[in-house]
């Protein structure tokens, strides 16, 4: 039996990114039960990033509930997913259904999902933490706290006042000479500003800069990368397979920031990874601030597809005031995967609201 549940999880404090501010995270949890097995998927479009809305997703699920349930029962869920993906082109819907189908298959095989998907699945994957720009003393204090927790990579949000940000990054590097520091400009700079600013950071050994220019200006991304030595990472620019191909051919960066909830089906995610590999582009995988179900799935994909030498954007559970699972393994600086079948988590069903 297939059921849908909604959640609304508040953040500990308002979360700001790419010009948007979020007080809470909303989404839908898919739960399928069969012969004592319970499989999960999550659908969580993020306003400002995803083109589809949660209300659109709810309508599609309402119309297709019986057919999707029956197709999963008869082993034809993948075919139904393909049709829904082609008709609606709602990546978060496709990702949630595909995650549920893979979780179900892994549990039927009694294998952890990571080892079910990837023959050489690692035991763990590193996560980075994120610093917002505040008073320098606060940033240094927060960085000290995070490194003491075990984080070896910190991402710093920039793009508002570069002179102040430069000073702060210099202080961070002085205080933490061995720390991997990456920055996220969130499309804040013009091409010329990006080149000038990133050249000013040359001595600080910045790991990479995410999205220095507007997401649609692929040629500007390429020009910035050609002019500087710091690696550029495509984040908001990477929305589908077509973007991946165009960015690769233009050499518009040396890394892809892959958000599975934004790309859609596992086929699309794996094709994006192959495109990156073909063009010698590294992959870093990040969540979209989902609940534990989405983060567990994203962590598995990060370990299986992402660059193992880099940390990935997975430690976002700490931003939430509460969650739908009490499992904590995906909330650490080094995520170690449990020896449990499927996703490796259980849900606290209390608090979830049945959709219909």
Q: pLDDT tens for residues 55-94?
A: 999 999 999 999 999 999 999 999 999 999 999 999 999 9
- Distance separating alpha carbons of residues 136 and 142, to the nearest angstrom: 10
Which tokens hold the place of 199? Answer: 């050249």
- Intervals of CATH 3.30.390.10 along the chain: 2-111+347-354
- Distance separating alpha carbons of residues 202 and 122, to the nearest angstrom: 33
* Catalytic pick among 107, 126, 155, 259: 259
33 catalytic residue (yes or no): no
In this predicted structure, the answer to whether residue 309 has a pLDDT above a threshold of 90 is yes
Bridge partners, 335 (sequence order): 125
**What integer is the mean pLDDT of 28-54?**
96
How does pLDDT run across 118-129, given as a tens digit for each residue?
Answer: 999 999 999 999
Q: Quick count: other Cβ atoms within 10 Å of Cβ 325?
A: 19
In this predicted structure, the answer to whether residue 230 has a pLDDT above a threshold of 80 is yes
In this predicted structure, the answer to whether residue 18 has a pLDDT above a threshold of 60 is no
- Intervals of CATH 3.20.20.120 along the chain: 116-336
Q: What is the mean pLDDT of the chain?
A: 95
Provide the annotated binding site for Mg(2+): 184, 210, 235
Residue 84 host element (H or E): helix 77-88
- Distance separating alpha carbons of residues 213 and 69, to the nearest angstrom: 43
End-to-end CA distance of the chain: give it in Å, rounded: 14
pLDDT band at 351, cuts 50/70/90? confident
Q: What are the Cα distances from residue 280, in Å, to 151, 273, 346?
A: 27, 10, 38
> Is this prediction's pTM over 0.75?
yes
* Catalytic pick among 126, 155, 157, 273: 157
Q: Quick count: other Cβ atoms within 10 Å of Cβ 342?
A: 26
pLDDT band at 21, cuts 50/70/90? confident
Question: What is the 8-class DSSP label of residue 350?
Answer: T
Higher local confidence (pLDDT), 352 or 101: 101
In this predicted structure, the answer to whether residue 279 has a pLDDT above a threshold of 70 is yes
Per the CB < 8 A criterion, the answer to whether 343 and 111 are in contact is: no
353 catalytic residue (yes or no): no
Highest mean pLDDT of the ranges 61-75, 133-147, 341-355: 61-75
% of residues, the chain, pLDDT over 70: 99
pLDDT band at 356, cuts 50/70/90? low
Higher local confidence (pLDDT), 243 or 49: 243
How does pLDDT run across 175-228, given as a tens digit for each residue?
Answer: 999 999 999 999 999 999 999 999 999 999 999 999 999 999 999 999 999 999
Q: What CATH fold (topology level) applies to the domain 2-111+347-354?
A: Enolase-like; domain 1 (3.30.390)
Q: What angle do CA 24, 102, 100 make, to 5 degrees?
A: 40
CATH for 116-336?
Answer: 3.20.20.120
Provide the annotated binding site: 184, 210, 235
């Amino acid at each position: 039996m297939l059921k849908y549940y909604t959640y609304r999880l508040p953040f500990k404090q308002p979360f700001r990114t790419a010009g948007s501010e979020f007080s809470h995270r909303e989404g839908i949890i898919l739960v399928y039960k069969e012969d004592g097995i319970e499989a999960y998927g999550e659908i969580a479009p993020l306003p400002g990033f995803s083109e589809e809305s949660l209300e659109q997703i709810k309508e599609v699920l309402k119309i297709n509930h019986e057919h999707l349930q029956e197709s999963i029962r008869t082993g034809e869920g993948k075919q139904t997913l393909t049709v829904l993906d082609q008709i609606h082109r709602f990546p978060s819907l496709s990702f949630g259904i595909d995650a549920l189908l893979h979780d179900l298959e892994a549990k039927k095989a009694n294998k952890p999902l990571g080892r079910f998907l990837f023959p050489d699945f690692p035991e763990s994957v590193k996560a980075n933490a994120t610093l917002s720009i505040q008073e320098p003393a606060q940033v240094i204090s927060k960085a000290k706290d995070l490194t003491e927790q075990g984080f070896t990579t910190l991402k710093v949000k920039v793009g508002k006042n570069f002179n102040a940000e430069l000073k702060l990054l210099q202080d961070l590097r002085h205080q933490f000479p061995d720390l991997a520091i990456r920055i996220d400009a969130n499309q804040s700079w013009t091409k010329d500003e990006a080149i000038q600013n990133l050249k000013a950071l040359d001595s600080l050994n910045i790991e990479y800069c995410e999205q220095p220019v507007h997401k649609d200006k692929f040629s500007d991304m390429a020009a910035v990368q050609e002019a500087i030595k710091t690696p550029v990472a495509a984040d908001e620019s990477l929305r589908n397979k077509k973007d991946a191909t165009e960015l690769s051919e233009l050499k518009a960066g040396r890394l892809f920031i892959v958000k599975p909830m934004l790309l859609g089906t596992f086929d699309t995610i794996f094709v994006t990874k192959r495109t990156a590999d073909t063009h010698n582009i590294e992959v870093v995988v990040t969540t979209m601030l989902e609940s534990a179900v989405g983060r567990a799935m994203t962590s598995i994909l990060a370990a299986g597809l992402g660059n193992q030498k880099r940390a990935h954007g997975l430690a976002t559970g700490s931003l939430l005031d509460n969650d739908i699972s009490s499992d904590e393994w995906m909330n650490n600086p080094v995520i170690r995967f449990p020896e449990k079948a499927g996703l490796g988590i259980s849900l606290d069903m209390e608090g979830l609201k049945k959709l219909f």
